[in-house]
Amino acid sequence: MIYLKIISFLIYLIFMGILFTKYTSLHGIFLIPYSLLILIEYALFIKKGK
Give the tens place of pLDDT for each residue, 17-46.
777 676 666 566 677 777 788 888 888 887
**Beta strands, E only, 1-50:** none
Could you tell me the pTM of the whole model?
A: 0.41
Separation of alpha carbons 3 and 21, rounded Å? 27
* Cβ atoms of residues 46 and 5 within 8 Å: yes
**Average pLDDT for 3-17:** 77
> Which pLDDT belongs to residue 29?
67
**Number of C-alpha atoms within 13 angstroms, CB side, residue 50?**
7
> Which pLDDT belongs to residue 24?
63
